[in-house]
Amino acid sequence: MAPAAAQPAYDSYVALGDSFVAGPGIPPQSTSAECGRSEVNYPSLVADALGVDEFIDASCGGAVSEDLQGQQISILTRATVPPQYDALRPDTGLVTVGIGGNDIGLVQLAIACTNFASAPHGTSCAESNSERPDSFDLAIDAFAPEYGTIIDEIRARSPHARILFVGYPTGIRDGGCFPEQQIWPQDATYLQSKIDRLNTVMAQQVVAAGAEFVDLRTSTIGHDSCATPDERWMEGIVPTSPGIPLHPNAAGHRNAAEQVVSSLSVND
Nearest CA-CA partner of 119 in 174, 47, 163, 183:
183
Q: What are phi and psi of 260, to 5 degrees?
A: -65, -50
Residue 135: Cβ-neighbour burial (10 angstroms; 0-12, 13-18, 19+): middle
Is position 247 annotated as part of the catalytic site? yes
Active-site position among 19, 124, 158, 225: 19
Active-site position among 65, 124, 247, 253: 247
Per the CB < 8 A criterion, the answer to whether 114 and 188 are in contact is no
Is position 30 annotated as part of the catalytic site? no
Per the CB < 8 A criterion, the answer to whether 187 and 208 are in contact is no
| CA pseudo-torsion sign 16, 18, 22, 23 | negative
Per the CB < 8 A criterion, the answer to whether 98 and 21 are in contact is yes
**Enzyme catalytic residues:** 19, 247
